[in-house]
Each structure stands twice: as structure tokens, then as C-alpha cells.
Amino acid sequence: MATSASIARVIGEEVLDSRGNPTVQVTVVLDDDSLAHATVPSGASTGESEAIELRDGDRQRYGGKGVLNAVRHVNELIGPALMGLLADDQWRIDAVLIELDGTDFKSRLGANATLGASLACARAAAQACRLPLFRYLGGDEARVLPTPMLTVMDGGIHGNDGPDLQEFMLVPVGAPTFREALRFGVETYHALRDLLVERHTSTNVGDEGGFVPALSSNRAALDLVMQAIERAGYRPGEDISLAIDFAATGLWRDGRYRLSREGRDYSADEMVGLCREWGEQYPLVSVEDPLRDNDWGGYAQLTRELGDRMQIAGDDLFVSNRPFLVKGIAQGCCNCVVIKPNQVGTVTETLNTARMALAAGYSCMVAHRSGETEDTSIADLAVALNCGQIKAGAPARGERVAKYNRLLTIEARLGERAQYAGRAAFQRRR
Ligand code: PGA
Ligand code: ZN
């Protein structure tokens, strides 16, 4: 599976993400003429300790969001440093990037610059080896198609005037294949749209393609999604379960969590209570970031109380960063880590965090960002890890659907060897 092709050119460019914000695209050309691009996504509800996304800050361009400096780092610093390295020596490539940057959170080069280069090298090497990316990264064992977590309602900062909670997701645990899981999800998404039309509620969508209805409470959002599942002819909990990303750091006001749709503030204990209550009343298999991102003690308690009943996923808490995950494992925080390559800035660090999590009995949810691109690498990453979960937004909007379409292709390519994760992805090992 090795290639002797080496890196000949590394080209950075400024392109746009799905919100119309600038982002970094990197093209890597090898000396055997293999060529690949990678484009970096961008979050909005970012964790405090995420690797630094370098923005120009020049308000004359894109309100300060330009990435020309990060692009210059790719062209003038990263390119020369990687030139001549073997393309399939990902560990070495990423070690060079980490050393060249020299900071804890990629603040010199920018994680948008380093991830773009790192991922484009992986993609180019896969090309040179004539292997699909999932196979190149995961080897012959890579064959588990992840259970999709399909965001059908957007709230928080991804959907103004919608629910307080950021993402309400469908999890087609009972589907026999990925292709069928996607159909379950799409049909329910369309049924939800019909319900909103009947109620004369807006069918506008948020950043991740989920609907953003103005409802009286977050519970009303859950009820509506449940109704949509039934309207589409599926059994809640049997065919399709639910997941929520609270993105609770964004709810934190004056020492409490403000759910303005419910018209009240919640303490950390009350947030745990809410998770418990909803876990009893709805087929809720996963809650992500139900507490703010520095409440390690709160997470440990939440995991003790509810960790045997539902998946507790840490996104802003772990920021895909191995040392944070190690701290979480030691303290018993969460039982799942959300994996977003741009939170940490290289392919190797991303894989290391995910593999550490799996080794410790945590589950891994590979995830998109709210500002996405046409790049589908996370679909391959989820299969490479055999981790069984991917969160890539609604089954609508090109940049979201691209990931799901890539998984359809991977499933077809694997043929009989493909295995759909389904409910097993949520069976806790810890
Ligand atoms: P973000 O949101 O990409 O805006 O950070 C996604 C998430 O919180 O999971
Ligand atoms: Zn999240």
C-alpha cells in the first residue's frame, strides 16, 4: 500500500465555505503527477481550546475573515518544508507541520493552513496508491458504514429564532444498510417539512440545512420530530432514534443555562435532570455538549448518572485533542468524543485522538462543521475508523449531502463486505 511518490508542489488558495466565508484550499501535486485538493471547514459554536483558525483581521476584506495569511503560510512556509517528503509518510508530514508551527494550538501557521496541507497530502498519497481515502487511512479492515446523525432542526446560533438547542437529529438505528438509513432520514425530513407547512410555520433552513421553526419550547421541537418520524411511516426508537447537540456553552448567561424558549434558566443539575427526563420520554440515544466546555466536574457527574443510559458526547470539551481526551478519560467525563479534524489541525493528531478514544471504550462521532465545503474527507474518515457514527447535517444542501453521497459510493464499492453500524454504534462499551 506504499507509494514512493514524493511531494512536488503545495499550493494554497482562498476559496469560500457554505456561509460565504473565506477558507483555505490546498492542492498537493506529487512527482508522479498525482494531485489532490483538501478544503477546510469552519465552526461557529467553537470550543474554547480549539486549534486556532487564522483569520486576517483586515476589516476591508470579508469583515476581517479573509485567510490570505494562512494561504501565504501554505505557499511560503509549509510548501518548502514538505517538498521532497514521501507522500505516504503522513506521520512525518504532520510532525514537520507541528514543528514548523511550534505552538500548542497552531497559532503561528493557523490550523486552517496545517489541516489543509495535511489532508491534501493524505488525499494525494491515496491517489498515488490507487486507493480510496477510507482504505488508505483505515486499511483493509475499514468497512463499517457509520450510522448517520441527520440534523433536521437547527437552533442556537445556527438558526436564529429557532429552538435554543443547536441540533435535533434523526438517528436511523433500525435501518439495514446505510443507503436505507439515508432514505429513512430523507423521508422523515420531508415529512417534517409537510408538518411545518400545515402549521403555517416557516420552512426556512439554518446553517446545517435543518428547519428553523419558531416554536414555543425545545420540547415542542422534539414532539414535532417524533410526529414527523411517524408521519413518514417509521417507529420512533425502533427504526429511528433521536440525538441532540445542546451546544450548551452558547446558552451560558450569568452563571446559568438560559433556555429562552422555555422562558427559564437552568443550573447544571437541572440540565442533567432535563437529559434524564427527555431520555425517559423520547428515544434519545445521544446528547452532545449538554454542559459548558469547562465544567469537567459536571461532566463527570452527568456521566456517572446517565452514562449507562445514553451516549454523552464531548465536542467543545475535548476539541478532538488527545490531552483533553486523556483528562476526560481519567475523570470519567462523557463516553463519546466528537471528532472534527480542524479542531486539532493535522490528520495524524485526529486519528490519534479517535484511536485513543476507541481503545478506552469511548465511541467516536466524526462530524462536519457549520461552515462546510464540498470536501468529503470526513465520510472516508468515519469508515477508516470503523467508528460507526457520522454527523454531517441535514439530508439537504449540497455541502451536507456531499458527505452522505460519498458514503453511498463507499457502501456500493465495499459491496458484500460493507457493514452498517446501526444500533450497535450506540451500545456502550464504557
Ligand atoms: P460548529 O457546530 O461547527 O458551528 O462548531 C457544530 C457542533 O457544535 O457540533
Ligand atoms: Zn457540537
pLDDT in tens, 293-343: 999 999 999 999 999 999 999 999 999 999 999 999 999 999 999 999 999
The β-bridge partners of 338 are 365
What pLDDT, on the 0 to 100 scale, is given for residue 36? 98
Q: Give the span between the Cα atoms of 411 and 116, in whole angstroms.
A: 26
Mean pLDDT of 110-139: 98
pLDDT attached to residue 421: 98
Q: Are strands 363-367 and 389-393 parallel, antiparallel or unpaired?
A: parallel
Q: Is 315 in the pocket of ligand 1 (CB under 6 A)?
A: yes
User: What spacing in Å lies between the alpha carbon of 84 and ligand 2's midpoint?
Assistant: 38
As a whole number of angstroms, the distance between CA 377 and CA 17 comes to 15
Q: Ligand 1 pocket, 143 CB below 6 A? A: no
Averaged confidence pLDDT in the chain: 97
Is residue 100 within 8 A of residue 132, CB to CB? The reply is no
pLDDT class of 1 with cuts at 50, 70, 90: low
What is the rounded CA–CA span in Å between residue 200 and residue 67?
A: 41
Query: Which pLDDT does position 314 carry in this prediction?
Result: 98
Strand partners, 252: 257
| pTM of the shown model | 0.98
> What is the Cα–Cα distance from 274 to 246, expressed in whole angstroms?
11
Task: Indicate the pLDDT class of residue 3, thresholds 50, 70 and 90.
Answer: confident
Q: Which of 315, 334, 365 to mutate for ligand 1's pocket (most ligand atoms within 8 Å of CB)?
A: 315
Decide: 372 in ligand 1 pocket, CB within 6 A. Answer: no
Beta strand 256-259 with 336-339 is unpaired
Please report, for residues 117, 366, 422, the alpha-carbon distance to residue 31 in angstroms, rounded to integers and kept in the order given.
16, 32, 42
Share of the chain above pLDDT 70, in %: 100
Does ligand 1 have an atom closer than 6 angstroms to the CB of 243? no
Q: What is the pLDDT of residue 387?
A: 98
How large is the average pLDDT for residues 408-422? 98
Task: Band the pLDDT of 430: cuts 50, 70, 90.
Answer: confident
**Longest CA span, the chain:** 62
**Residue minimizing CA distance to atom 1 of ligand 1:** 43
Element (H, E) at 178: helix 178-198
Cα–Cα–Cα angle for 339, 190, 274, rounded to 5 degrees: 55
Place of cell 433536521: 152
Atom of ligand 1 nearest to the CA of 367: 9
CB atoms under 10 Å from CB of 181, counted, come to 29
pLDDT reading at 20 higher than 90: yes
Cα first-last separation, the chain: 34
What is the average per-residue pLDDT within 176-188? 98
CA of 52 to the centre of ligand 2 (A): 17
Ligand-binding annotation for 320, yes or no, is no
- pLDDT above 90: percentage of residues in the chain: 98
- Cα–Cα distance between 146 and 175 in angstroms, integer? 12
Q: Which residues are catalytically annotated?
A: 208, 340
Distance CA 164, CA 283 (A): 20
pLDDT average, residue stretch 27-53? 96
Instruction: Decide: 363 in ligand 1 pocket, CB within 6 A.
Output: no
Mean pLDDT of 25-40: 98
Q: Return d(Cα 184, Cα 169) in angstroms, integer.
A: 13
| Burial of 213 per CB tally in 10 Å (0-12, 13-18, 19+) | buried
Paired sense of beta strands 241-245 and 252-253, if any:
unpaired
